[in-house]
Amino acid sequence: MTDAPRPQIRLDKWLWHARFFKTRTLAAKLVAGGHVRVNAAKTDKPARKVGPGDTLTFPQGHDIRVVRIIAPGERRGPAPEAQALYEDLTPIKEMPAKAPRYEGRGRPTKKDRRMFEQSRKGPLE
């Protein structure tokens, strides 16, 4: 019984297939900049081979994404197909509270505006 080789794909290509980046060039630039970790080890090679079971850590926007690869992917397909390529391990962030100065009551009154300005200045001014 021979073990079949683990299917692998280039890192930049997988990030593009999984729809984390709009273009493969953007994915390659992020990897080449040293901003991606594969199984906790930094890599700066877009051609590094990854496959099922590998864990990737990389920035996307203002967040740090942590994903485990489930499948290498054949093409850059629709979003549901792309989401089947990975398991998202990123911790869920709580939604920020609504801004305290506006509670949906319409336009603030002059009294509200004075209180807001006073709260911005602080007690010493």
For the record, the structure tokens of 77 come out as 């397909």
Distance CA(58)–CA(61), nearest Å, equals 10
CATH number of the CATH domain containing 13: 3.10.290.10
pTM for this predicted structure: 0.73
* Domains of the chain: total: 1
Distance CA(53)–CA(79), nearest Å, equals 21
Q: Does residue 80 sit within a domain? A: yes
Q: Does residue 114 sit within a domain? A: no
Q: Does residue 3 sit within a domain? A: no
What is the chain's length?
125
Q: Does residue 124 sit within a domain? A: no
Q: Does residue 51 sit within a domain? A: yes
Q: Does residue 116 sit within a domain? A: no
Q: Does residue 2 sit within a domain? A: no
Q: Does residue 119 sit within a domain? A: no
Q: What is the pLDDT along the chain (125 residues), one digit of tens a residue?
A: 557 788 999 999 999 999 999 999 999 999 999 999 999 999 999 999 999 999 999 999 888 999 999 999 999 999 999 999 999 998 887 766 655 555 666 788 888 888 888 887 766 55
24 is in which domain, residue-wise? 9-88
